[in-house]
Amino acid sequence: MDENNAALNKITEDLTFHIRITRGFKIWMGFLLIGLSICLYAYTLQLRFGLGVAGIRDYVSWGMYLSNFVFFVATSLIGMLISGVLGLIGIKWITPVARIAEIIAVAFAAIAGLVIIMDMGRPDRLEYVFIYGRFQSPILWDVTVVTTYFVLSALLLFLTLISDIAWVHKKTDHLPGWVKKTYQVLSLNWTDTPEKNHIIRRCVRILLILIIPCALAIHTVTSWLFAMSFRAGWDSTLFGPYFVTGAFVSGGSAVIIAMYFFQKNYKLHNYITNQHFNNMGKLLVMVMLVYLYFNINEFLVPAYKLKTAEAINLHDLFGGRFALMFWAVQIGGLILPIILMLFQKMRTPLPMLIISLAIFIGSWFKRYIIVIPAQEHPYLPIQYVPYNFKVYTPTLTEIAITLSSFFMALIIITLLSKFFPVVPIRETAVERGLVEEKN
């Protein structure tokens, strides 16, 4: 019994070890906040002078902002794959990874909502979407499902945290009183009774079931923003599943990057092990193979027929203005990582970090490649306008505003992971047989 208690104490100590304000945390947060303020200054310029401070014009009217929005929605989908799908079919190894995936889902879904406001010509009229909203427009569908997904993900994260927060409350005497008080409020006075655990388990289960169709909906609807139009390059019935599988690729790589830094900085080597990197590598290879299959469909079918408008778009991708970016993304961000991750040696932490960074960056540019080139080739010629109307080049202000979304997401992820256990304490204890889970 004493042995048991000692082990339990060790786990709690280990998993709450990082909940303290360190110098490294202050420097990192300082960097994020300074970066964010610079980028938000760029946004004030856009508020003052209009969307024209960005490189978008009447032909390419959806630029980096929108491709970034698609990327954020995509990355948030990983919460559904890991907690929802793998959790419901009872895969055990995901325990220390699931909360990381949920944190990423919450952060990216929340920021996706802000990113789309940055893309509005009149952000001051945001409430019109709710006052005058027309349900015929896919934008309304997107607003509905992204909000729902964010709420579900946040609830899921919170419900699975309740028991851990109660434990943290007991273990963090080094923190100021008001922080402890906050933990107490957040723990909702949880005590380890079978009824309370039963209620939480049931709620979590319902959320896990709800989150799967909702996550599928958010990215399918996001893809429909494009697929519902006539443009060559967007006019595809494949866009829904193409976007959803692509989402697992970018989200999976984001989780691996986060796992690496949490393992190193929060000293979680005994909980996030090499085996987890190995498993995540295999999972990523699987979703990337599916994504590769959709890519082949998406490009080979129109490339075989070469309908006039499709041909112009494809020529630009395969050998024209976007060729470098296109092949870098397809080879460096998709094919090469798949091949590398087939080797067990590559599925260890450091190689996985590097491969995941390549996939993550590739995923971002992949959205750029989907959104922008299709607009540079409308059905009717672009004439009598300045050159920058015909060829889209993002401006510095635009890039800064886009970067602000990453600063905000990183701030959310940093705060959530700093003040709450990244690896679930109770679940780990239950898994190691230190706490008995009564039904």
* Residues of this chain that bind other proteins (CB under 8 A): 49-52, 56-59, 61-62, 119-122, 125-126, 128-129, 132-134, 136-140, 143, 225-226, 228-231, 375, 378-387, 389-391
What is the nearest approach in angstroms of other proteins to the Cβ of residue 217? 17
What is the nearest approach in angstroms of other proteins to the Cβ of residue 421? 40
- Dump the DSSP string for 72-118: HHHHHTHHIIIIIIIHHTT-STTHHHHHHHHHHHHHHHHHHHHHHHH
What is the nearest approach in angstroms of other proteins to the Cβ of residue 408? 21
Query: Considering beta carbons, is residue 130 or 304 the nearer one to other proteins?
Result: 130
Instruction: Compute φ and ψ for 116, nearest 5 degrees.
Output: -70, -25
Query: Considering beta carbons, is residue 6 or 385 the nearer one to other proteins?
Result: 385
Q: With CA atoms as reference, report the closest residue to 413 among 35, 25, 118.
A: 25
Query: Considering beta carbons, is residue 320 or 351 the nearer one to other proteins?
Result: 320
Rounded Cα gap, residues 260 and 270, in angstroms: 13
Query: Considering beta carbons, is residue 189 or 308 the nearer one to other proteins?
Result: 308
What is the nearest approach in angstroms of other proteins to the Cβ of residue 56? 8
Contacts of 90 (CB under 8 A, 6+ apart): none
Query: Considering beta carbons, is residue 125 or 267 the nearer one to other proteins?
Result: 125
DSSP letter assigned to residue 193:
-
What is the nearest approach in angstroms of other proteins to the Cβ of residue 412? 25
The dihedral region occupied by 175, where left means phi > 0, alpha psi between -120 and 50, and beta the remainder, is beta
Runs of H (alpha helix) within 50-94? 64-76, 78-79, 87-88
Q: With CA atoms as reference, report the closest residue to 403 among 49, 71, 20.
A: 71
CB 146 within 8 A of CB 109: yes
Rounded Cα gap, residues 41 and 18, in angstroms: 33
What is the nearest approach in angstroms of other proteins to the Cβ of residue 54? 8
Q: For the chain, how far is it from start to end, CA to CA, in angstroms?
A: 22
C-alpha distances (whole Å) from 270 to each of 87, 275, 307, 309, 434 are 21, 11, 56, 55, 16
What is the nearest approach in angstroms of other proteins to the Cβ of residue 124? 9
What is the nearest approach in angstroms of other proteins to the Cβ of residue 399? 17
Query: Considering beta carbons, is residue 62 or 364 the nearer one to other proteins?
Result: 62
Burial per residue of 108-144, b for 16 or more beta-carbon CB atoms within 10 angstroms, e otherwise: bbbbbbebbebbeeeeeeeeeeeeeeeeeebeebbbb
Query: Considering beta carbons, is residue 140 or 210 the nearer one to other proteins?
Result: 140
Rounded Cα gap, residues 64 and 168, in angstroms: 41
Query: Considering beta carbons, is residue 294 or 389 the nearer one to other proteins?
Result: 389
What is the nearest approach in angstroms of other proteins to the Cβ of residue 11? 49
Query: Considering beta carbons, is residue 23 or 134 the nearer one to other proteins?
Result: 134
Query: Considering beta carbons, is residue 228 or 396 the nearer one to other proteins?
Result: 228
What is the nearest approach in angstroms of other proteins to the Cβ of residue 59? 6
Query: Considering beta carbons, is residue 138 or 332 the nearer one to other proteins?
Result: 138
Contacts of 274 (CB under 8 A, 6+ apart): 348, 349
What is the nearest approach in angstroms of other proteins to the Cβ of residue 126? 7
Enter the tokens of residue 356: 């995941």
Task: Report the amino acid identity of residue 279.
Answer: N
| Calculated CA dihedral for residues 116, 122, 123, 124, nearest 10 degrees | -160
